[in-house]
Amino acid sequence: MKIFLNADHHRHAGRQEMFRGRMVPCHEVPARLDHVLAELGRRPQGELLSPAIGDATLDAALARVHRPDYLQFLATAWADWVAMDPANAERDVLPSVWPLPSRHGFRTDTPPANFAARLGLYGFDAGSPLMAGTWAAARSGAACALAAAGEVLGGARSAFALTRPPGHHAGPDFFGGYCFLNNAALAAQALRDGGHHRVAVLDVDYHHGNGTQTIFYERADVLTVSIHGDPRTEYPFFLGHADERGAGAGEGANLNLPLPRGTGFTDWRVALDTALQAVTNFGASALVVPMGLDTFEGDPISGFHLRSADYATVGQALAGAGLPTVFTFEGGYAVAEVGINAVNLLEGFGRAV
Ligand SMILES: [Zn+2]
């Protein structure tokens, strides 16, 4: 499979994130991707390429998934942050105040001029630092997702967008969970626009793919399925329950399979089979897999117990769907093992097709 590598990913390198009242070193670090790359060097799965997507094409694709005011916010966020106080150039951007319109009655219809307030309008947590290179890194990552979708539209069985920051928590107009642009949603939309009438997204990250769900929640043409830690105890907490089935035209086109913290591979695999059956029942002709490896037993911020060898089985099962498949690199914070686990999955997939 062709692998589209985000050569700009190092430009997004957060120093610290807020975790329960203290600043801690970021979990989502450039070394994650470097480990995948190193493992691909040892066990090549296909050609490594740079995406060839022009700026105009990229901008048009971003506008298919994200709101214009949000894209504008991201484009100027760093400059706006430094303009607030030149000393900010030494600090990553993090929100610290939120409007919570659904509960507190605060208004969001009048865009605030103060950048600290705008940050709270668009960001949903204080754990997702943004810095000078974030916009460039995220854009290049989106280009990788589009290139991978293009490869599949051109007839390839599969392609992989090897990029960070990840994307599945980013919604139409919000960032969070280390995500800024939703690479999986961009790939799914590109597959739709390229002629696939029904596309499925099967998110295997430990955390619910809330951004992707929100983007497609009222649409009948994109099925979103997510297997994840139960949001009653696991991040992102406020979405990802089993009774979220889609709305309006999208009623029935969203499937959440939350599992309790501590779930091992045997039970996880049952959920995967349920997910794959839903993809088949939906009649999808193409599949996008937001590939999170934080279901690994050694992950420092997650709670499932998949082992490295299990990822080959996961890849094999995904190949069993028999669909052209785009993979996007998402979570996985056991940094030393993330490369082995990612390549195990790709290798399992490759062996089964
Ligand atoms: Zn995750």
Residue-wise pLDDT tens digits, 282-319: 999 999 999 999 999 999 999 999 999 999 999 999 99
Per-residue pLDDT for 101 more than 80? no
- The yes-or-no verdict on residue 105 having pLDDT over 90 is no
Burial class (CB in 10 A: 0-12, 13-18, 19+), 85: exposed
What is the 208 CA–ligand 1 centroid distance (Å)? Answer: 7
CA of residue 207 to ligand 1 center, whole Å: 4
* Rounded-to-integer distance, Cα 42 and Cα 311, Å: 17
Name the residue type at position 250.
G
Cα(345)–Cα(233) distance, integer angstroms: 27
| Interatomic CA distance for residues 329 and 26, integer angstroms | 17
Dist. CA 213–CA 240, nearest whole Å? 9
Q: Are 149 and 194 in contact, with CB atoms under 8 Å apart? A: yes
Predicted confidence (pLDDT) at residue 83 exceeds the cutoff of 80: yes
Is residue 102 pLDDT above 90, yes or no? no
Taking residues 71-95, report their average pLDDT: 97
CA of 228 to the centre of ligand 1 (A): 9
Closest C-alpha among 211, 226, 220, 212 to residue 248: 220
- Distance between Cα 154 and ligand 1 center (Å): 30
Main-chain dihedrals φ then ψ at residue 37, nearest 5 degrees = -60, -45
Q: Look at residue 202 and tell me whether its pLDDT is greater than 80.
A: yes
Whether the bond into 30 is cis, omega within 30 of 0: no
Question: pLDDT confidence of 25, banded at 50, 70, 90?
Answer: very high
- pLDDT bucket at 248, cuts 50 / 70 / 90: very high
169 included as an active-site residue: yes
Q: How far apart are CA 183 and CA 202, in angstroms?
A: 13
What's the pTM? 0.98
User: Is the per-residue pLDDT at 218 higher than 80?
Assistant: yes
Cα distance between residue 186 and residue 190, in whole Å: 6
H or E element in which residue 42 lies: helix 30-42
Distance 278 CA to ligand 1 centre (A): 22
Distance 209 CA to ligand 1 centre (A): 8
CB 74 within 8 A of CB 141: no
Catalytic entry in 27, 168, 169, 208: 169
Look at residue 134 and give its three-state secondary structure: helix
Confidence of residue 103 (pLDDT cuts 50, 70, 90): confident
Backbone φ, ψ for residue 286 (5° rounding): -150, 155
Question: Which 8-state DSSP code applies to residue 47?
Answer: -
Report phi then psi at 200, rounded to 5.
Answer: -115, 145
- Asked whether 63 and 71 are in contact (CB, 8 A), the reply is yes
